Structure 1
Amino acid sequence: IWYENGKKWSEDSKKACLNSFLGIAGFIACFMTVYPTRYDLAAAHPVEMTVKHHFRFFKHLTFFGCKDYLSDVFGHHLFGKIVYLVLEAVAYAAILFSSLVLWGDAFLFSVAALSLIGFSAFFSIVYQGGYRHEALWLMLVVALLWIKKNTDKEPAGNVLNKIGSVSFYTILTIQVILSGLLAFHEVHKPNSMSKQFVDFINKDEILKNSPILSSMDYNLEAIPYYTKRPVFMMTLNDYDVVVPYKNKLDYNLDDLLKTAQKLAVCSKSPPLILIANDKEKAGSSVLNIMDENAEKSVRNYMYNYWTFTVTSEQKKRFLENTREIARYPNGYLEQGFIVYQLNVVRAEQSDCRSK
């Protein structure tokens, strides 16, 4: 641009400088918020995570995340499965052929097609991408279409280009449908039981200020949104509002009990301990580790980086020092839990912050 304008300052030069500045600022912001990796286990250990991943072709842009909800609507039998498979096939085909919307411009089409392949490989081998990651490709195609529209070239208008247009607008329509499903399925089944749990403890003057910890830290992430207070993270051994996914942890029920007892010393309210349910499996009822009649039970969380163990002796000690006050089923996106209140003698409680 500088040379095209005879090495003179122009309106195009101003735009180029502004865009460059924004690009550099964005890069710096991304770098500072990603490195060092604190909140993401996969980014912190990419090589270790690779062997645990399978090939994924932008599945989160399809109806994959709404499979259970669609089954509830259309049934869990053959008809419901056929509807889901047809919708999935349409979505995958739309993604595959969307790059053709840029057919006619070799460079832009190549960028869209190669980035589709590159993202698929990246999300399968390096990092298990979610919806917010895979949707970046859609945003890229939108940007490429904007570039194409602002060039002097006329649209190709051939059959391949029309197939690409239909495919691209189909996948955009699917995103609107997915947004609707995610927004309105709350009526049928809440995403999380955190709101119900917080509403429950807020009705009790003693419990509403209780420290909260869990057998599975990421079950706590939604709670500070409602309480406006941090929760106790076992992986940090401290209060926080975001789960540090990169930390390894090998802990047991005794650790939870001892931690709750320590928190009780510095709290005027008895600590609450949440024991997470297992994920739902087709054809089986939801199980909680506390309901298992086994000498030793183990649960692995967060790509097996967190190992939680419960023995019969630990369970006996735990139940002697706590009492169950509530149970919550699994939500649509989060697992439910059993709530235990630590038995604390009121006279022994104090507020450490006042000392």
Structure 2
Amino acid sequence: MLRSMLLERLSSRAALVVLLVWVCAVGALAFGHVMWRDEVRALSIALSGQNAVEMLSNLRGEGHPAVWYLMLRSAYDVFGRVEVLPVLSLLVAAISVAILLFRSPFPPLVLIFLVFSGFYLSEFSVTARNYGISALILLVIAAVYARYRDKSIVIGVLLFVLANTNVIAAMLVGAFLVFWAADILQETGLRWSPALRNVLINAGIALAGIVLCGLTVWPTYNDAAAVDPASLDLPRAALLAVLNPGGTGFGALGLPPLLAEGLPGQSILVSVLLYGATLGLLPRRSAFLGALTGLIGLSVFFALGAGGSYRHAGVWFFFVVALYWIAWPDIRRALSDAARPAIARSLTIAALSGCLLLVGLQSFRGVARSVGDLAGILPVNSRSADVAQLIKSNVALGDAVILSDPDYLVEPLPYYIGNRTYLTRSDALGSVVKFSRAGILHRDLGDLLRQAQALKASLGVPVVILLSQRLDQIVPGRVYHEGYNWTFRGSAEDIRTFQESTETLARLGPARTGETYDVYVLK
């Protein structure tokens, strides 16, 4: 039954219907989406500087390469509206979904699972980040691989661009080169050939892309976001990551957090599915090798470099989807070849079943979250739009400066309002926070109030203060952890003085991203 299902194809008419349903669903989700800091932060950087060269200089050390920022800058230069941020993300997602539906070889069930996954219903579409571009380029590479594998530099150029979408994609460029070289050698043996020469030329182009990514990303000023290697037994952590990748950032590909909480063996189950998904590529051993290289490499990176999340694991997920696309003719032959040993066919079907379950989990996650969002069951993404509306509705606050604790609460506001924002830990006007292990890590409420008063005195404008901590709920004197490595404390005296010196405008919340606000204006 599974074998016959995997050999089916989706008709063009059915693909069009699926595309229209997806457009309606994502349109409804995007309409209710509120921008949060990680999305708007990229736009703020993209629009910084007098020109693209200055912007790229500002980008250096942020932790992301340049492609998404250049796209945002170019689109804004043409249209002059901040809405280019969500529109670009949705456009990239729509092209990706169309390529999947009309060009890929996958059967109907797999396509429906992919299109209505958590990635294309949310993470790579409604959420405007740079990871959806990686998925699009991977799908394009899969579509043109057979045509350009042995000739041209088309794939090398695509890999160059892919390496500069995000760090995860840059690492997977290396895994793809492993696959490509193995694919040629598997066919020709260990001998020089024009096809191998073409691989090496394209590898040079791709490696130049990786180097450019590295020069843009490192050294990062957001070192607090990285794993501190001094806190780890590195060999042990690396080994555990390889043995149980579901215990790293790849665990996000399992059940949604609300269902997975307290479930024993969740990470082991995800690991089995991850390795099963790679084993499903064995009919084309080079593809299996590429997927395995990417899985092991990223598992170690998540454990030792930067803990990954759903969007990061999703880039590997679509890397594997691209490899399945390329290997699909071999998989079809393996499923339909009666001459293959029964045990080999059974192992292939078992591995593909695990892969199908992994893909199905992403669809379950995406549909469940989408229903929760549309029905109003889940909290909104952020309360940043509410803060902006509150300030815009008060004429007296038209030129107010906004500061917050933690600082990153102001990052999404430039999408909605033009008020200046102030970063208290940097002691400067700005809208992009640096998450450093150096600088001001601790903040007292009294210090924040004095900073706001000094700001009002020097600028002569109203000062709005945003707090994520509820002053009537915190324990006076207790230290509260915020962000990666920040702390906050308010003594009973500080709380009393703050309340006497400010007027409360609103209490907003809750929000999925933690961007919930108590809003005050300095008297």
Q: Pairwise CA RMSD of aligned residues? A: 3.6
Q: CA deviation at 1:311?
A: 0.8
Q: CA deviation at 1:272?
A: 1.0
- Deviation string 1:27-65 (CA, Å, 9 cap, x unpaired) is 24421332121235233x6314648x9943612122334
Residue 433 (structure 2) aligned to one of 243, 246, 249: 243
Instruction: Supply the distance in 2 between the matched residues of 1:20 and 1:140 (Cα, whole angstroms).
Output: 20
Map of 1:273 onto structure 2: 465
Choose 186-195 or 85-94, whichever is displaced more: 85-94
TM-score normalized with structure 1 length? 0.73
- Deviation string 1:149-197 (CA, Å, 9 cap, x unpaired) is 478x974332222222233233234334434444553442211111111
Instruction: Supply the distance in 2 between the matched residues of 1:92 and 1:228 (Cα, whole angstroms).
Output: 46
Alignment of 1:211-230 (within 5 A): 211-228=401-418
In structure 2, relative to structure 1, the CA distance for the partners of 1:292 and 1:230 (3 Å cut) is: same
Matched, 1:123 2:312: no
Matched position secondary structure for 2:435: coil
- Deviation string 1:249-291 (CA, Å, 9 cap, x unpaired) is 11211221122122213545411111114xxxxxxxxxx2x11
Matched position secondary structure for 2:488: strand
Q: CA deviation at 1:86?
A: 11
Instruction: Supply the distance in 1 between the matched residues of 2:270 and 2:371 (Cα, whole angstroms).
Output: 21
Map of 1:283 onto structure 2: none
Map of 1:33 onto structure 2: 216
In structure 2, relative to structure 1, the CA distance for the partners of 1:48 and 1:100 (3 Å cut) is: same
Instruction: Supply the distance in 1 between the matched residues of 2:367 and 2:459 (Cα, whole angstroms).
Output: 42
> Is there any run of 5+ residues in structure 1 with no aligned partner, and where?
72-80, 278-287, 344-355
Matched, 1:321 2:501: yes
In structure 2, relative to structure 1, the CA distance for the partners of 1:47 and 1:91 (3 Å cut) is: closer
Matched position secondary structure for 1:235: coil
Aligned partners of 1:214 and 1:274 also within 8 Å: yes
In structure 2, relative to structure 1, the CA distance for the partners of 1:297 and 1:109 (3 Å cut) is: same
Instruction: Supply the distance in 2 between the matched residues of 1:201 and 1:250 (Cα, whole angstroms).
Output: 28
In structure 2, relative to structure 1, the CA distance for the partners of 1:36 and 1:228 (3 Å cut) is: farther
Residue 170 (structure 1) aligned to one of 357, 369, 376: 357
In structure 2, relative to structure 1, the CA distance for the partners of 1:184 and 1:191 (3 Å cut) is: farther
Instruction: Supply the distance in 2 between the matched residues of 1:182 and 1:224 (Cα, whole angstroms).
Output: 27
Instruction: Supply the distance in 2 between the matched residues of 1:293 and 1:13 (Cα, whole angstroms).
Output: 65
Aligned partners of 1:98 and 1:167 also within 8 Å: yes
Map of 1:159 onto structure 2: 346
Identity of aligned residues (%): 26
Q: Which amino acid aligns with 1:39?
A: N
Instruction: Supply the distance in 1 between the matched residues of 2:209 and 2:369 (Cα, whole angstroms).
Output: 30
Instruction: Supply the distance in 2 between the matched residues of 1:186 and 1:266 (Cα, whole angstroms).
Output: 43
In structure 2, relative to structure 1, the CA distance for the partners of 1:314 and 1:190 (3 Å cut) is: same
Instruction: Supply the distance in 2 between the matched residues of 1:293 and 1:127 (Cα, whole angstroms).
Output: 31
Map of 1:296 onto structure 2: 477
Residue 251 (structure 2) aligned to one of 30, 41, 59: 59
Residue 113 (structure 1) aligned to one of 283, 287, 292: 292
Instruction: Supply the distance in 1 between the matched residues of 2:198 and 2:267 (Cα, whole angstroms).
Output: 46
Instruction: Supply the distance in 1 between the matched residues of 2:211 and 2:229 (Cα, whole angstroms).
Output: 25
Alignment of 1:38-117 (within 5 A): 38-43=221-226, 46-48=228-230, 50=232, 55-56=247-248, 58-65=250-257, 67=258, 93-117=272-296
Aligned partners of 2:280 and 2:351 also within 8 Å: yes
Instruction: Supply the distance in 2 between the matched residues of 1:261 and 1:231 (Cα, whole angstroms).
Output: 15
Map of 2:449 onto structure 1: 257
TM-score normalized with structure 2 length? 0.52
Map of 2:19 onto structure 1: none
Matched position secondary structure for 1:341: strand
Matched position secondary structure for 1:36: coil
In structure 2, relative to structure 1, the CA distance for the partners of 1:176 and 1:293 (3 Å cut) is: closer
Q: Which amino acid aligns with 1:166?
A: S
Map of 1:352 onto structure 2: none
Q: Which amino acid aligns with 1:167?
A: G
In structure 2, relative to structure 1, the CA distance for the partners of 1:226 and 1:185 (3 Å cut) is: farther
Matched, 1:330 2:501: no
Map of 1:200 onto structure 2: 390
In structure 2, relative to structure 1, the CA distance for the partners of 1:257 and 1:331 (3 Å cut) is: same
Q: CA deviation at 1:119?
A: 2.7
In structure 2, relative to structure 1, the CA distance for the partners of 1:332 and 1:36 (3 Å cut) is: same
Q: Which amino acid aligns with 1:60?
A: A
Q: CA deviation at 1:327?
A: 0.3
Instruction: Supply the distance in 1 between the matched residues of 2:521 and 2:354 (Cα, whole angstroms).
Output: 54
Structure (1 or 2) with the greater strand fraction: 1
> Is there any run of 5+ residues in structure 2 with no aligned partner, and where?
1-149, 152-191, 242-246, 336-344
Q: CA deviation at 1:126?
A: 3.2
Instruction: Supply the distance in 2 between the matched residues of 1:60 and 1:306 (Cα, whole angstroms).
Output: 25
The count of residues paired between Structure 1 and Structure 2 equals 310
Map of 1:135 onto structure 2: 314
Q: CA deviation at 1:338?
A: 1.2
